[in-house]
C-alpha cells in the first residue's frame, strides 16, 4: 500500500529513542523526510544519518520558545512541516496521593505545554496547504489509569482533551488530529517502569515482566515497529477521514472498547 507521504516533511518530537524513534523510522520507510529531534544533538544527528533524507536537530522543547525555534529551523532546512508527531519522555512514576504542584507543573511542561507550542508554530502552514497530520503519542494509562503513573495519566489526559478539541476545529481544513496509545511496548521506558515496580515490591524484575505479560491477551510485549507503523498509517492519505480518535496499540490489554 502506498501511503502517499513520499517527500512530505515530518517532525517527530523526542525521537532519538523509543517510540519517537520507531515512529520516525516508520515514516521514513514510507518516504517521508523526517526531522529527528531531541536534547541529545549528537544522537539526533547519528540516528538521522541512518534514514534517507532525515535531519537531526538538537532542541530541549521544555524550554519556553524552543518549540517555535525548532519549527522555524526545520522549515528553513527541510521545508514546512506537514506531519507532526507529538512525543516526550514520561514523568517519574508515583501515586496520585503523593502528587505535588511542582511535580505536576513539570510534567505538564513536557506533556502539554511544549506540544501546544509546537502545534501553534506549525498548524498555520498546514491550514494554508489544506493538508496536515498531527499525531500525539499518548498512553493507555489515559483510558485505564495506573496507580504508579498518576502524573502521566493526568497530564496526558489534558493533552488528549486538547487534541480532540483541536480536531473538530481543523477537520474542514484538511488537517487530521489523532492519538496513538502504547500499552506495554518493549522500550527502555517500559523496562524502567518494570524495574521501579520490582524495586518497590522487592521482587525479581523477570517476575514483574512475566506478571505483566500475563495481563496481555497477545501474551507478549509489543514491538516498537508495530507502534511506529500505526503512526505512519495515521499520517497516510488513506487515513484522511480518521480524525479525533485515540487508537490503542496494546495487544488487547485494556478491557474497555
Question: Do the beta carbons of residue 37 and residue 88 sit within 8 Å?
Answer: no
What is the pLDDT, as a whole number, of residue 223?
A: 96
CA–CA separation, 154 vs 19, rounded Å? 20
Phi, psi of 201 (to 5 degrees): -100, 0
CA–CA separation, 28 vs 47, rounded Å? 12
How would DSSP label each residue in the chain?
---S-TT-EEEETT-SSHHHHHHHHHHHHTT-EEEEEES-HHHHHHHHTTSTT-EEEE--TTSTTHHHHHHHHHHHHH-S-SEEEE--PPPPPB-GGG--HHHHHHHHIIIIIHHHHHHHHHHHHHHHHT-EEEEEE--GGGTS--TTBHHHHHHHHHHHHHHHHHHHHHGGGTEEEEEEEE-SBSSHHHHHHHHHHHHHHT--HHHHHHHHHTT-TTSSPBPHHHHHHHHHHHTSGGGTT--S-EEEESTT-S---
How many residues are given for the chain?
Answer: 257
- 33's grid cell: 523526510
What is the edge-to-edge ordering of all strands in the sheet holding 175-182?
55-58, 33-38, 9-12, 83-86, 132-137, 175-182, 246-249
Contacts of 98 (CB under 8 A, 6+ apart): none
What is the pLDDT, as a whole number, of residue 180?
A: 98
CA Rg, the chain, in Å?
18
- pTM (2 decimals)? 0.94
CA–CA separation, 211 vs 224, rounded Å? 20
Name residues of the chain where pLDDT drops below 50. Answer: none
What is the pLDDT, as a whole number, of residue 61?
A: 92
Domain boundaries, the chain: 9-184+223-249, 186-221
Nearest 10 degrees: CA dihedral of 15, 129, 64, 245? Answer: -60
What is the topology classification, in CATH, of domain 9-184+223-249? Rossmann fold (3.40.50)
Amino acid at each position: 500500500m502506498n501511503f502517499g507521504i513520499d517527500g512530505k516533511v515530518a517532525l517527530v518530537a523526542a525521537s532519538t529513542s523509543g517510540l519517537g524513534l520507531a515512529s520516525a523510522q516508520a515514516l521514513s520507510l514510507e518516504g517521508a523526510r523526517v526531522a529527528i529531534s531531541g536534547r541529545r544533538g549528537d544522537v539526533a544527528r547519528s540516528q538521522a544519518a541512518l534514514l534517507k533524507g532525515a535531519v537531526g536537530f538538537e532542541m530541549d522543547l521544555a524550554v519556553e520558545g524552543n518549540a517555535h525555534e525548532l519549527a522555524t529551523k526545520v522549515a528553513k532546512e527541510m521545508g514546512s512541516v506537514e506531519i507532526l508527531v507529538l512525543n516526550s519522555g514520561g514523568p517519574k512514576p508515583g501515586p496520585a496521593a503523593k502528587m505535588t504542584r511542582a511535580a505536576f507543573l513539570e510534567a505538564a511542561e513536557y506533556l502539554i505545554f511544549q506540544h501546544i507550542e509546537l502545534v501553534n508554530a506549525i498548524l498555520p502552514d498546514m491550514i494554508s496547504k489544506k493538508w496536515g497530520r498531527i499525531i500525539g503519542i499518548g498512553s493507555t494509562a489515559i483510558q485505564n489509569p495506573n496507580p504508579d503513573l498518576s502524573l502521566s495519566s493526568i497530564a496526558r489526559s489534558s493533552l488528549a482533551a486538547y487534541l480532540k478539541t483541536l480536531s473538530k476545529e481543523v477537520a474542514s481544513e484538511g488537517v487530521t488530529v489523532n492519538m496513538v496509545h502504547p500499552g506495554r511496548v518493549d522500550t527502555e521506558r517500559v523496562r524502567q517502569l518494570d524495574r521501579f515496580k520490582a524495586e518497590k515490591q522487592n521482587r525479581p524484575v523477570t517476575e514483574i515482566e512475566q506478571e505483566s505479560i500475563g495481563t496481555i491477551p497477545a501474551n507478549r510485549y509489543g514491538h516498537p515497529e508495530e507502534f511506529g507503523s500505526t503512526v505512519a498509517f495515521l499520517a497516510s492519505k488513506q487515513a484522511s477521514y480518521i480524525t479525533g480518535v485515540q487508537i490503542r496499540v496494546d495487544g488487547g490489554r485494556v478491557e474497555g472498547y
